[in-house]
Each structure stands twice: as C-alpha cells, then as structure tokens.
Structure 1
Amino acid sequence: MTQHSQTMSRSHAYAKVWLYFMYFWIIFGIGTYFGQYLPLEWRRPLSIGLTVLILISLFINRSRRFGFIISNIYAIAIGLLAYASFATYMQNLGPEIFYKNVALAVGAFIAFGVIGYFFIQDASSIGKYLFVVLIALIVASLIGFFIQNPIFYTIINVVAVGLFLLYTLYDFNRLKRGQFEPSEMGFNLFVNLLNIIINILSLANRFRD
C-alpha cells in the first residue's frame, strides 16, 4: 500500500470514528428526551441493571460479538437516567454555571485528547491500570446505590473524572497509532466525554454552596 493510500485509509477510519461518536450522542439524546417520562421508581433498578450489563460485557468475551448492540443499549439507558440528573443540575446550578461546567468538561476532554495524540508516543502501557481502576469504580458505584453516602459519592466523582480523562488520553493515543476499530473507538470517546461531563456537573452540584 502506498503512502497516499495509507493516509487516505487512515483519514477514512478517523471520519468513521467521529460519525460513530456523533451517532451515539444522538442515541443518548433520544434516551434523554424520553427520560422525562421514566417513572422515578424505575431509576434505581435501571441503574443497577446497567451497571451489571457493563460488568458482564467487560468479563465475558462472547459479549464482544454483541458489542454494538450493548453500546446502543448503554447510550439509551444512560440517556434515560441522565434526564433527571441534568434537570436537577440545571435547576440547582442555574443555566450559566451549568453550561460553564459542560464547557470545562469539553475543554478538558479536548486537552487530554491533544496530549494523547500529539505529545505521547505510546500510552499502551497504562491500559491495564485504567481497566483495573474502571472495574473498581463500577463496583464502587454499585455499592454506592445501597449505602447512599455523600462523601463516598464525591470520591467516586473525583476518581471518575481523573479516570475518564486518562482514558481520553489513552484512546487518542490509540487513534494516533492506528490501533482502533471505528465503532468501538467512537463509542469509547462518547463514553469518556459523557462521564467527564456528568461527574464534573455532579461535583459542581455538591460544592455549589
């Protein structure tokens, strides 16, 4: 394959990544819209079910065959759950502070993406450590459903922001090295940005006073 062909192929793959990225935001947006109709008593079972689904998909290799289906289920389910949280944050913080924190999250996402793509040669070695922290975070979130401790939730939020910023760096570095599949990478970047936004808003809401 010629240099020109390789460049064209890489550019095409990048374009597909961002198309999938936008696709999952659209699916999330649809879920968020219908989240206003989700009965309050369904929120906790849906949250627990979503957490269990993520754990299953991480540990069972065969789930990779259904990765795109699981990704769509995640985007819709997290959208359904996010509506109430976003409405609460908007009410508590006010529109100006709400959007400033969203802009902060997007800015941090872009900054770590730039660092991962342009300034780090190979970040593959941190992947296994990020995965361990991710598993611990998911388990801690599952525990958090039952203990309902504000300090515990704050720690989870802080760890989650740091984790998904590092995952953003890691994923952009994978983009640089060409080690990605477009739909999987588009979903990963969507999840990274979404979790950074949600957790920064949650922290802002906790410290608003």
Structure 2
Amino acid sequence: MYQKSNPIGKLMSAFFFAFLLAVIGVYAGQYIPPQFIWPLAILELVLVIIVAFTRNRKGLGYFVMYLFMFVSGLTLYAMLAHYVSVLGADEVLKAFIIAVVAFAALAIYGSMTKFNLGFLGNFLFFGLLVLVLVLIAGIFIPFSNIVNLIIAIAGIGIFAGYTLYDFNQIARNGFEEEDIPTIVVNIYLDFINLFTYILRFMKYFNSDN
C-alpha cells in the first residue's frame, strides 16, 4: 500500500515523459556522426552516476534524468540501426513487443506478489558484475556464437530478475518524490537492457552457426 507521500502518479508521469524524450533521442540519433557515439555512451554512464548522487536536489535530479534519457536515445539509435541491418525491421519490432510484454508481466508480478524478493539483490548484482567483465573481455577476445548465445540468455535472466526486484521493492518499501529520477532511470535501464539481450538472442539464430 503506497502512502500519500509516495507519488505513484508523478512516477508514472515522469517515466512517460522520460521515455518520450528517449524516443525523440532515437529519432535525433540518425543525425549523429558515428565518431560521437562512444563519447555519448561515456556521458550516458556519467549521467547515471550523477542521478544517484542528486537525490536530495530534486530539480537537478529531474534535469539530469531527462538529459540522460535523451542521450540514451541518441546512443540507442546506433544499436537499433545495427540490429535492423542484421535482423530486419520486422524482427526488431518483434523483439520490442516481446520485451514490452515480458517487462509488463514481470513488473505486475513483482508489484503484486506477497513475497519479498529483496534477497535477489546481491545475486543480481554479482551476475551483472560478471556479465560486464565478460563483455569487456569480449572487446579483446572474439567469442563464438555459442558463447554469445549464453551471454544473451544470461543478460535476459539478469534484467528480467532486476525488473522483478525493482518493482517488488518499490511496492513493498514505497518511495519519496526525490527518489523518482533514480527509479525512472533504473526501470528504464531494466527495460532497455532486457530488449537489447532479446535482440542478441534473436541474432544468434540469424547468424551462421
């Protein structure tokens, strides 16, 4: 049960406008030269860190959140363009629909279940850390298709778990208005990463094994 001080309506409104900014960023991303993608990706990471440290400064927190969403959209365009070229627009759309349905189902279950899924936090963080290290290693070591498939499955599992965990903890613990920017960024990252790893999973079946 949310307390009156926990503005669920403001959270949903903030997420809607933030996601809209990300969509606008995706559209604008087609005009960004490729050499700017990596600097923008680094800026995106910096903004995520800043959001976490601006909890007590609501105005700044919202500004950084919206800026992050727009920058994320800019970098997301390059990823989507890659998968459209590899899989085709229809398959990318199919992956998006699957991600939306899965995300919604996980969010609803996580919010409504009577179980406290807080115990997942440490396991998910460890899994994410291992995944990041493997992805960094993949920059220097070419992986086989089977390894890429395992990475995709692991990524889907981790971010499906984070979706369950985040919504469960929001429902059980509530939130204050100053928490909204961090929550919006967290659930956006849950969805985008789930979508990304579903695309990686689908790419395996469209590559030469």
User: Is the pair's TM-score, using the shorter chain for normalization, greater than 0.5?
Assistant: yes
1:69 CA drift (Å): 5.1
CA distance in 1: counterparts of 2:19 and 2:136, whole angstroms = 25
Contact 1:157 1:200 in 2 (8 A): yes
CA distance in 1: counterparts of 2:76 and 2:21, whole angstroms = 13
RMSD value over aligned CA atoms? Answer: 3.1
CA distance in 1: counterparts of 2:4 and 2:130, whole angstroms = 37
Tell me the alpha carbon deviations over residues 163-198 of structure 1, each in whole angstroms, 9 at most, x when there is no partner. Answer: 111111111112321333333222222111111112
Contact 2:25 2:74 in 1 (8 A): yes
Sort the Cα spacing of 1:29 and 1:116 in 2 relative to 1 into closer, same or farther, 3 A.
Answer: same
User: Which amino acid letter does the alignment assign opposite residue 200 of structure 1?
Assistant: I
1:73 CA drift (Å): 4.3
Contact 2:2 2:174 in 1 (8 A): no
Matching residue of 2:49: 57
Contact 2:99 2:194 in 1 (8 A): yes
After the TM superposition, which residues 47-126 of structure 1 pair with which residues of structure 2 at under 5 Å, given as runs? Answer: 47-48=41-42, 50-51=44-45, 53=46, 57=49, 62=53, 68=62, 70-126=64-120
Which secondary structure does the structure 2 equivalent of 1:201 belong to? helix
Contact 1:117 1:176 in 2 (8 A): yes
The normalised TM-score by structure 1 is: 0.77
After the TM superposition, which residues 38-53 of structure 1 pair with which residues of structure 2 at under 5 Å, given as runs? Answer: 38-48=32-42, 50-51=44-45, 53=46
Which secondary structure does the structure 1 equivalent of 2:4 belong to? helix
CA distance in 2: counterparts of 1:49 and 1:13, whole angstroms = 29
Where structure 2 has 5 or more consecutive residues not aligned to the other structure, the ranges are none
CA distance in 2: counterparts of 1:189 and 1:127, whole angstroms = 15
Sort the Cα spacing of 1:153 and 1:43 in 2 relative to 1 into closer, same or farther, 3 A.
Answer: farther
1:158 CA drift (Å): 2.4
Matching residue of 2:21: 27
Matching residue of 1:3: none
CA distance in 1: counterparts of 2:16 and 2:41, whole angstroms = 24
Matching residue of 1:158: 153
Tell me the alpha carbon deviations over residues 104-140 of structure 1, each in whole angstroms, 9 at most, x when there is no partner. Answer: 1111111211221222421112212222323333343
CA distance in 1: counterparts of 2:137 and 2:111, whole angstroms = 35
Contact 1:105 1:193 in 2 (8 A): yes
1:154 CA drift (Å): 4.0
Sort the Cα spacing of 1:143 and 1:21 in 2 relative to 1 into closer, same or farther, 3 A.
Answer: farther
CA distance in 2: counterparts of 1:184 and 1:23, whole angstroms = 15
Counterpart of 1:141 (choices 121, 132, 135) is 135
The normalised TM-score by structure 2 is: 0.77
Sort the Cα spacing of 1:7 and 1:69 in 2 relative to 1 into closer, same or farther, 3 A.
Answer: closer
1:25 CA drift (Å): 1.0
User: Which amino acid letter does the alignment assign opposite residue 166 of structure 1?
Assistant: G
Which secondary structure does the structure 2 equivalent of 1:187 belong to? helix
Identity of aligned residues (%): 28
Where structure 1 has 5 or more consecutive residues not aligned to the other structure, the ranges are 1-5
User: Which amino acid letter does the alignment assign opposite residue 128 of structure 1?
Assistant: N
1:38 CA drift (Å): 1.9
Matching residue of 1:206: 204
Q: Does 1:15 align with 2:9?
A: yes
Sort the Cα spacing of 1:149 and 1:50 in 2 relative to 1 into closer, same or farther, 3 A.
Answer: farther
User: Which amino acid letter does the alignment assign opposite residue 126 of structure 1?
Assistant: L
Question: Comparing both structures, which one devotes a greater share of its residues to helix?
Answer: 1
